[in-house]
Structure formats: structure tokens, C-alpha cells
């Protein structure tokens, strides 16, 4: 009973918190004032705003001062304070990074209208979902088909096509990891994105019935999206193919006993019969496509930015980076990690950030991430079509 009597009431605790908060806000404003003085000194001696060694030393000191129980919380708090402080210093100094200049130039040089006609590279053959995406993105695309996703990137590099359209993730089966791996090997920029509703059909030659099927072929993503449907077909093998439309083309020549998972258009293109429609496990099945170019193009309404970077292989590194993004009040819509080729236990992190390209906070954040990351690439700022 004596312990209960010593516990302050909720009202007393809230009054104490209010008093402490008033002191904290006062000290925070005082600290930001000193930070402004630091910015002016850095301007006078030509020193960069970011001082990684100083930040590491400060976070270590904060951890020590907070003690074992509170050090993680204190370090997270001060990582945010440091991020806010650097943003304030950049604002005071009116500084801009090379990346900010590159983005501003792209905005200035890009036409206000997304092109209606263009040469576009797609993987696969007639009937591929990438073609359907290209036809949604462009009113009149001049499409060239390539055998592999790598070939699409290479076509953009060589200037054979101005744009390439590639699938990057599906709402059911997840990311197309091959695209993420290729993204680290090629220089390109995302200029637009599209979410395409995907309805899969089971296609076979006219003389084939469902009970005749022994093998189903399609792209691995399509097979994953229809895994439940396939599992209910006793004794039927599922075989991955480079492309859904290419699978339909194969079934046309393979004949009875084979079926393809593809879109309905492939039935007309390759003389096949639709045995079943909408066979994906999730009716709300969307694939996200990106449209890439060799040079950055930033069109009006662009509000999504993609970047890739590395973080130090140390505990808390990613957490502090996420705190930095949160401190700028920028929405993180996607985070994807992929192993870094040739580096054991090191990863590339892909981020999608949601913020209008006109936002000063976004430009400052990108500049800070570029200067503080060992490896950093800006992948573009664009609008996503629905």
C-alpha cells in the first residue's frame, strides 16, 4: 500500500511533463540558435555542413550520458536533432548540392507534357504485359521487343529507344528482384510509373481441355500470383518462362497437354483458347511498371523520388537514416534491400520517397544523403499513374 501512495497521479505526471517540455523547447531553440552560429562560422571558413566524425563522437557521448537503459532512445532522439540541425544550417546558408542543381536543370529542360509518341523498349513479344503498360503510358508508342530485361536496359544505354518499360513489383508476388539487381548495373532515370491491373487467363490450343493439361508455363511472377489455382490442379507441373506472352507463343507450338498463364489478348494473337479467366489468387492484382530513360526528365506533377544507397554495416545505421527521413516530414512509401555484389553481408537499399519535387525539404534531404552515403544514386523523380 505504501508504494501505491508514492505513485503520483496522472494529472501530476502530466503537469511534470508539461514543465519539462517547456524547458526542452527553450533549450532546443537555444541549441538551434547556436547551430546557426556554427553555420555562419562554416560559411566563413568554407567548411561543409556535414561533419560525420563530429556526429559519431556526439552520438557516442550522448549514449554514455544517457546510461544503458536510455541510450538507444537518446541516440534516436539526437539523430533526429542532428538531422534537423543540418537542415537548418543548409537553410541559413542557402546552400545547394550538385544533385539539387542536376534536379533543377532537369525540371527546367523537361517539356511540360509527357510525350504521346516515342520509341519504347519492352521485354518479351506481342501480348506481353509490358506492352499493355507502354500503351497506357504513351498514346502511340513505337515498341521494340527485347529478349531479356537486361537487353531493355542495354537498348536505352545504346540509344536504340528513348524509353524502356519494365515491371518492378506486384501487389501479390512482391518485387521483381531481377529488375532491382539490374538497376545497380545500369545508368538510367525513372521518368514515370504505372500501376496496371493484371487479370491472368489460362490459355491452351483449341483441342486441349483443362483435364488434358500436364504442364503450365508462364513468367515466375505470374506463376506465383496463381499459385493457389495451380495447386488445385492435380499432377500439373509449373514451369517458369521468361515472359507470359512468350509462354503463350510456346504453347501454340507445343500443342495439347500444355497451357500458358497470360492475358486474354494472347489468345487472339497466338490462336489459343481461353480455358479459364481471372485465375490469379488475389482479385486485386496489380503490377507496378517503371518507364526509364537515359537522361533525367522531370514532368509537372512529379511527386515520387527513387534513390539507392548504402549505409554503414553497423547497428542502428538504417534506423538513424529512417529517422532522418522522418525528421524532414517526408513519406517513405517503399524500402527494398538487395545484396551488394562482391560484398558479403552488405546491402543496397532502394527507397521510394513521396514529396513534391518543389519541396525544399526533399532537395535538402537528397543532398544530405548524397554527401553522407558511401554509395548513392538518384534514380529519378516522377509521377505514378493509376
How many separate helices (H) and strands (E) can be counted in the chain?
Answer: 14, 15
Residue 158 CA, distance from chain mean position: 25
What's the DSSP call for residue 9?
P
- Give the helix/strand (H/E) hosting 291: strand 286-293
Is residue 120 classed exposed, middle or buried when 0-12, 13-18 and 19+ CB atoms within 10 A define those classes?
A: buried
**Cβ within 8 Å of residue 343, ≥6 positions away:** none
Q: Cite the DSSP H helix spans in 138-261.
A: 149-158, 177-183, 220-225, 227-231, 244-254
- Cα angle 192-195-199, degrees, rounded to a multiple of 5: 145
- Give the helix/strand (H/E) hosting 132: helix 129-137
Which of 291, 286, 295, 309 is CA-nearest to residue 382? 291
User: Catalytic pick from 145, 188, 250, 289?
Assistant: 289
Q: How distant, in Å, are the alpha carbons of 45, 47, 96, 334 from that of 367?
A: 20, 16, 7, 20
Residue listed under C-alpha cell 536510455: 70
180-185: Cβ within 8 A, 24+ apart: 180/336, 180/338, 180/350, 181/338, 182/149, 182/150, 182/153, 183/308, 183/350, 183/379, 184/308, 184/338, 184/340, 184/341, 184/348, 185/153
List 305's β-bridge partners, or say none: 353, 381
Output Rg (C-alpha) for the chain, integer angstroms.
27
Active site residue 289: yes
Residue listed under C-alpha cell 538531422: 83
**Cβ atoms within 10 Å of 245's Cβ, excluding its own:** 30
User: Catalytic pick from 208, 244, 287, 381?
Assistant: 287
Catalytic residue ranges: 287, 289
Amino acid at each position: 500500500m505504501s508504494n501505491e501512495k508514492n505513485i503520483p497521479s496522472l494529472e501530476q505526471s502530466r503537469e511534470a511533463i508539461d514543465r519539462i517540455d517547456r524547458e526542452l523547447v527553450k533549450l532546443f531553440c537555444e541549441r538551434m540558435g547556436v547551430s546557426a552560429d556554427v553555420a555562419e562560422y562554416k560559411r566563413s571558413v568554407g567548411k561543409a555542413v556535414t561533419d560525420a566524425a563530429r556526429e559519431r563522437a556526439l552520438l557516442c557521448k550522448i549514449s554514455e550520458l544517457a546510461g544503458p537503459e536510455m541510450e538507444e532512445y537518446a541516440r534516436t532522439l539526437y539523430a533526429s536533432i542532428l538531422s534537423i540541425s543540418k537542415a537548418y544550417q543548409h537553410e541559413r546558408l542557402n546552400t545547394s548540392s550538385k544533385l539539387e542543381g542536376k534536379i533543377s536543370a532537369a525540371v527546367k529542360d523537361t517539356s511540360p507534357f509527357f510525350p504521346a509518341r516515342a520509341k519504347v523498349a519492352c521485354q518479351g513479344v506481342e501480348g506481353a504485359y509490358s506492352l499493355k503498360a507502354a500503351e497506357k503510358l504513351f498514346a502511340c508508342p513505337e515498341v521494340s521487343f527485347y529478349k531479356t530485361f537486361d537487353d531493355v536496359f542495354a537498348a536505352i544505354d545504346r540509344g536504340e529507344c528513348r524509353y524502356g518499360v519494365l515491371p518492378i513489383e506486384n501487389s501479390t508476388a512482391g518485387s521483381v528482384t531481377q529488375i532491382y539487381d539490374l538497376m545497380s548495373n545500369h545508368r538510367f532515370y525513372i521518368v514515370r510509373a504505372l500501376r496496371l491491373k493484371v487479370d491472368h487467363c489460362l490459355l491452351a490450343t483449341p483441342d486441349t481441355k483443362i483435364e488434358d493439361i500436364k504442364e503450365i508455363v508462364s513468367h515466375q511472377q505470374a506463376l506465383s500470383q496463381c499459385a493457389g489455382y495451380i495447386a488445385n490442379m492435380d499432377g500439373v507441373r509449373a514451369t517458369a518462362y521468361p515472359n507470359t506472352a512468350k509462354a503463350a507463343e510456346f504453347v501454340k507450338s507445343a500443342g495439347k497437354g500444355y497451357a500458358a498463364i497470360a492475358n486474354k489478348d494472347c489468345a487472339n494473337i497466338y490462336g489459343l483458347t481461353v480455358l479459364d479467366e481471372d485465375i490469379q489468387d488475389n482479385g486485386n492484382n496489380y503490377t507496378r511498371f517503371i518507364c526509364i530513360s537515359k537522361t533525367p526528365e522531370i514532368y509537372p506533377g512529379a511527386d515520387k523520388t527513387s534513390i539507392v544507397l548504402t549505409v554503414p554495416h553497423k547497428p542502428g545505421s538504417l534506423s538513424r537514416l529512417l529517422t532522418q527521413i522522418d525528421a524532414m516530414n517526408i513519406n517513405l512509401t517503399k524500402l527494398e534491400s538487395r545484396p551488394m555484389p562482391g560484398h558479403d553481408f552488405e546491402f543496397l537499399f532502394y527507397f521510394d520517397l513521396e514529396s513534391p519535387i518543389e519541396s525544399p525539404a526533399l532537395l535538402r534531404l537528397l543532398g544530405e544523403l548524397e554527401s553522407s552515403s558511401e554509395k548513392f544514386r538518384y534514380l529519378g523523380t516522377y509521377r505514378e499513374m493509376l
